[in-house]
Structures are given as structure tokens and as C-alpha cells.
Amino acid sequence: MGDKFEKNGEFEIENAAGVEPGFAGDQEEETPVVKEVLPCVALRGVTVFPNTVVHFDIGREKSMQALDRAMATDKLLFVSSQKSEKVLIPTSEDIYNVGTVVRVKQMLKIQGDVVRVLVEGLSRAIMDECVSEERYISCSVTRSEDEVLSEEDLSVNDQAEMRMLTDAFVEYAALSGQISDEVVNKILELDDPVEKVDRISNELLVPVPKKQKILEALVFSDRIHVLNTIIAEENEIAVVEKSLSEKVKKSLDKGQKDYYLREKIRVIEDELGDGDDTEEETEKWLKQLEELKLDPKIEAKVKKEINKFSKMQGTSAESAVIRNYVETILDLPWHKSSETNKDLKKAEKILDAEHYGMKDVKERIMEYLAVTKLTDSIRGPILCLVGPPGVGKTSIAKSIAKATGREYVRMSLGGVSDEAQIRGHMRTYIGAIPGRIIDCIRNAGTNNPLFLFDEIDKLGADYKGDPSSAMLEVLDPEQNSTFTDNFLEIPFDLSKVMFITTANNADTIPEPLLDRMELIEVPGYTELEKVKIAEKYLIPKQIKENGLKNENIKFTDGAIHDLINYYTRESGVRSLEREIGSLCRKVAKKVVTEDETVKYSITKKNLVKYLGKHRFSYDVVKGKDKVGVVTGLAWTAVGGVTLQIETITMPGQGKIELTGKMGDVMQESARIGISYVRSIADKLGIDPDFNKKNDLHIHIPEGAVPKDGPSAGVTMCTSIVSAVTGRPVRRDVAMTGEIDLEGDVLPVGGIREKMLAAHRAGIKQVLVPKENEPDIEELPAQVKEDVEFTFLDNIGQALEIALDKEKEA
């Protein structure tokens, strides 16, 4: 190894020279090698090869810590077999130096603290040094990558070895009887000789030291030779055993033969320690299967798998897959349903007790429940709750489950990009497990839970498949009665499940998926609604969670209003709850350290003492009117916001500067505004050639935040007119709307969120497109009372209202 190391974050760069390629420890001459520092898991009785997908169970504390570290970073682990399985708490000295870098694909908690981990082998690796063994084994490793080749690229000797290997593996599979023809054929069809060798090595039923020899063969030609040697030895032993067994059988009469076989089986089972368990387990499974009374075709398929399991060695990889398969089927609630509540008055009381306001949302949910009661089924559109974060989408789904008497199951789809997480893995993969939908139904224990797909708008897609396509079958009432998981390969009825989805932005949901759902808007809250929610739900909840009593703390109305206006800026109440929790913790400290008999009041005056200075400015209308500065309104995924649009003119040659990270559509709106102003220059009393003699600079503050959309057209045009005429714009007026080249104002979306943002900011008058008038009618009464709305047909109306009558001196 080289003697110069250079630390580089999680990697080390080593210059190795003068070492011949070969087995573990050898490197190619003058090749820079990248070392990685990875968490390490020591395996007992298991060897993981690259190019394979396998699962193993872990339960030791250090292994769990290493897994947690991997999941918190890049999901990479270094796994290596223990030299002795008897060592209970291994160190780096107790494992082989050569192991495998793997990527964690999935985790499943099983009995107790044991976790079943599904991993994909990426490459061989050599452990150079142990970095730490305090919480978990962490080591510096060097990967040994194989060049991807076809068999035609191999040397003549290697091609001959590969042909020998293929024949030997077919013979080995036939002699052992433990590898199915399907698995053999799949491996033989592989084009990549490196992957083929690794897959064959994974299927061998040989001790760990022999598998380790194959793993440690870093040069491909050496690896083929080692593998051929091991398989040839195993085949020879199997042939001799078979021959001896036949000779012994011939020398025994029938009674002796039966006695011999029983004794042999008994001895083998005693040695393995699982003989009686396997027989008892299969009998138990068959009894459970009979009690389930499944479809005859399904029952026959499961019986076939149980039969196959009873003839296998308990240590074989395929037996673990079959065990998981049978247990999953037997654990599924095929005919078990929870008794649902059909009393709509009771359901309405539960919804009202747990959620304030949300009248339209509750009304639509009650309609849905009424139809469900009358039709005695839940066929119909899937409900999709759409709204900004923190408005109660997930919690109202939980309340619906409680109101209907169903079990509640939640599956977060944020970042899910592998179709197998929805549909499961094919059982041809070693370590295959079912998809998360079947797993969640299994854990729910009933076949009619309320199943919440959270954040459906954040589904991903990559080379492993498109999860949104897999979701089409799940959310289609016409198809989900025969939902087939790739792992089960038998249909399971999801038609009794009440599916509900949530999203922040419906625009990012794929169109075919959106077509299967009915959107229910869950809007943001007004200040009054937030006050009521805080008093009725958030404050009592946080007092209880922080170990306080009502006698210890009191919130005044003024303090709650200031919390909402100066310490949070959101459509929902998530940040508000956090701030209330923070105040409760500070009071809890005072109760414990000072006087528990005193009742601490949170008021407007002492709020700054507890939480620091104000984080947000509530009233944006303060200050004097300015030239070229207009208040606009925008919609975002987290609710509506106010934004300032600024325009200045300067002597120049007609250049237009647009800054503030505007998108293409917003830039087009700015150019439309400039063109319209030029077309009415004579009406405005300005020089028709103002654009040739002056440069225009339009800017939207918070330049790091991307902005786009056509709804700032009216605001930009007003800002431009103010700048070129010198007339200041009223600060207490905000506006939204798209314009065309004739100055007509066109409708825009997100009106409710924008108006709530204007109301929060203290705006007194809002200019809105005439065609959006029906949207204003649906606003809360408090907003309509506090804000004056003016409806625009043409930009001229906006200029008349927003601009001061006389030029600023």
C-alpha cells in the first residue's frame, strides 16, 4: 500500500504503485484509488455478492446503529462475513477483510427488535483500516470494480472456463435439488459474465469460507477458476453420496430401509435443530389455510408452496422467500372487516369536535359518507385533499377514520421513486418482499381500513419504474378488486378500502392519476380562525404534552393575535403550534425551577421576552406612497403571499432589465405591460419615445426565490405607468390579474389564498379581475368585511384607483 494519504471528507485518496493485480490486497499499478468510509455490518452465516439482491436479519445494537447511519446518509453499507459465527459482539478483527459494498433498498421490522434488510450488492471492497468501533464499526474501504464484459471479450481460457462453469452449475442444480429450473434459466440467460458468476456464487449451498474464497478473487479469471473448482468438488461429493446411498439401500430390506430413512432424517434434523419445527410449522400453515377458506385456485397455489418449503433446507435462501410468502398470505385479512359506523350524526359530531371551520370540506365528506351508507359500498371517486401545509389535511383523514369506525393506515409517497415499493418485488429475486400497500393492509388487520396516501403530488420516477402508473390500478374502483402484488402473484380485493390522498399542489399530479380523484380544496385559515383553533385545540394540546396544567399558564387574546401576526407567516397552523409549544416549555422550566403555584400569563408585553423580537411585519401599508412600487399578490404551494414590484427609469437607449429571478411567463407579462404603456402614451401625457430615451429596470425583491406566472400583469403595468409618469402608488392597495395587449384584465387562479394573504398583511383594497367575482363570494365573512374588493375589466380602472391624482413633486 502507498504511504501517502490525503483526507478528503468521507474519502481518502491513495496512490498505490508496484502491486500486481490478483486477490485481496492487490491493486493495479499507478492507479489512484478512492477510499470510502462506510458503516460496517458483520454477517453471521451469510455472504453477499455484487450483482445480487438478498435480505438478512439484524438485531445487534452496533449493526442497528450502522444501518441507521447508512439510512441517514447515502444508504451504503460495507458488509462482511464473520470468521466465526460463535462471536456474539464482533469487532473489525472478527470479520474478513474482503466484503461487499451494498445499497439498502428496504427495511421491514419483524419480531421484537429484529429488522429484515433488503440490500443490493454493488461491488467487492477491501477493508483498509477500522476508523471507529465506538457506536458501530466504521471502516475505510477500497472498492474493486469489475469491467463490464461480454463473453466474446474474454480470453480463450476464460471462455473455456465459463462453458465448464455453465455445465457444472446445471449439474450442481440437478444434483442438489434445491435450485429451481426457473432460477437456473434466468442466470444462464445473463449476458454479463461478471454478473453470471456472482449470481451462481450466490446460489451455492456451501459454507461461508468457501464463498469467501470466491468473493476474495478480485481478478475475474481467478474467480472463474475458484468457482469451477468449488462446484466440481461439490458435484463429485454429491455423486459419491448418491452412489453410496443407492448401494446401502439395495442391501436393506423394506423394513430396514424405512427405519434407516427415518433415522437419517431424524439425525439430520437434530443436527440442524429445525426438523420438528419445520414439520410443525407446515402443519400449522395448512390448518390456517383451511380456516381462511380462500378461492380454490389460490389455496392450491399456497399449498404447493408449503409443500415445496417442507422439502427444503431451512438455511437455503429460497426457503426464506417461501416462508415470507406463505406468512404474508396467511396474515392478510382476507375476510376480516371492522364494523363501520353508519351514524352520520355521530360522524359529524366527531369531525366538528376535532376540526374548527372547514365547512365546505366537512360537507363534502358527509355527502361522501351518506352515499357510502345508501349504496353499502365505497365505489366512486377517490377524495384528494389539496391545500397548503399545516391546514389539517392529514389530521382530518384521521378523523374520518375515527368517524367511520375504520382502522387508519398512512403511507407517505414523498420521494417514492421505485415501483416495487407499491407493487412489491418478483419472487425470482432472493430476498423479495411484498409492496408497502399489501404490508400496510396486513398490519391494519382488516380489509376495509381508511388508507391515506400522503403527499401524492411528490411521487418520483426513475429507471426502476414509475410509481404513479402502479397507483392507477390501486385508485381505480373498477380494477382494485383484483389488485395483484408482484410478490404474492394472486389477487387481493382492495375495493372495501376507503382511499384518501393529500397534496399541496394538484398541478404536479400526473393527469391519469388526477382523473381518478375528486379534488377537495382545504384552504388556509383567516386570523380569526387561527385564534379559535389555538384556543380550542393547540393550547390545550401543548399544555398537556409539556406536563403543565391550566393552573400553570394562561394565554391572553392579544398574545395569540401577536403570535399569529408577528411570529408566523403561513396558511396553516403548524408554525403557530410550534411557537405555542416553545412558550409552554419555557413556562414548564419556570414551574420546575421557580414556583409551581404561580400562574404565568403570556401577554403582548412579555411575548418578546419569551420569543425574541418580531420575525414578521404584519402591516405592510405603513409608510408613504412611492413611485413605481406596487403591492402584488401571488400563490405558492404554502399559501398566498404579498410581493412588491418595483420599477425605475433612467436615461438610456431603451434597454429593459428584469431581475428578481422571474420565470419566462412573468418576463412576458412585463414586456406586455411595456408595450401597452407605449400604445397609450398620449393618454398618459408622456413622450411617445420615452422607451428610446430611457432604460427601464423592473425588479421583484427576494431575488433568490423563483417567481413565475401571468397573474402579475396588472401589477407590473401599474408599476411601469407609475415610474414613467412619476405618480406614486397607494400603499393600501394590492392587485392581481393577467393583462393582454389591449389592456383587458383576464382571470387568474389562487384567489382565496391571495385574498387571505392580503387580509393578513392589512391591505384595505384589492383589485381583482371581473371574472373572478364568484371566487370572492366564497371568502370568509371576516375577509369580505375588512377588505374592499374592486373588480376590473380593463387596466385603466386599476390605474385610476391605484395612482395618486397628481404627480409627486
Q: Which residues are identified as catalytic?
A: 711, 754
Nearest CA to 431 out of 46, 11, 701, 23 is that of 46
Residues linked to residue 561 through DSSP beta bridges, in sequence order: none
Helix ranges (H only) for 661-750 are 664-679, 681-684, 690-693, 713-725
Nearest CA to 746 out of 779, 788, 789, 792 is that of 792
Nearest CA to 323 out of 283, 282, 288, 289 is that of 282
Measure CA 64 to chain center: 21
| Residue 785 to residue 565: CA distance in whole angstroms | 19
| Residue 391 to residue 399: CA distance in whole angstroms | 14
| Residue 66 to residue 136: CA distance in whole angstroms | 5
| Residue 366 to residue 351: CA distance in whole angstroms | 10
Helix ranges (H only) for 567-712 are 574-593, 607-611, 664-679, 681-684, 690-693
| CB-based burial label for 791 (10 Å; 0-12, 13-18, 19+) | middle
- Measured between alpha carbons, how far apart are the two ends of the chain, in Å? 80
Please tell me the total number of residues recorded for the chain in this structure.
809
The grid cell for 61 is: 445494537
What are the strands, taking DSSP E only, across 455-551? 483-484, 491-492, 498-503, 517-521
Other C-beta atoms closer than 10 Å to the C-beta of 171 total 16
Ramachandran bin of 659, using left for φ above 0, alpha for ψ from -120 to 50, beta for the remaining angles: beta
The grid cell for 296 is: 380454490
| Residue 334 to residue 8: CA distance in whole angstroms | 55
Measure CA 705 to chain center: 24
Mention every residue, 6+ apart, whose C-beta is less than 8 A from residue 210: 204, 230
Cβ–Cβ under 8 Å, residues 275 and 267? no
Mention every residue, 6+ apart, whose C-beta is less than 8 A from residue 315: 45, 205, 272
Other C-beta atoms closer than 10 Å to the C-beta of 568 total 20
Mention every residue, 6+ apart, whose C-beta is less than 8 A from residue 127: 40, 78, 80, 92, 95, 97, 98, 99, 139, 140, 141
208-215 vs 220-250: helix axis angle to the nearest 10? 150
User: What are the backbone angles phi and psi of residue 644, rounded to the nearest 5°?
Assistant: -100, 135
Please state, in angstroms and as integers, the Cα–Cα distance from residue 227 to each residue in 126, 178, 360, 716, 752, following that order. Answer: 20, 18, 69, 73, 69
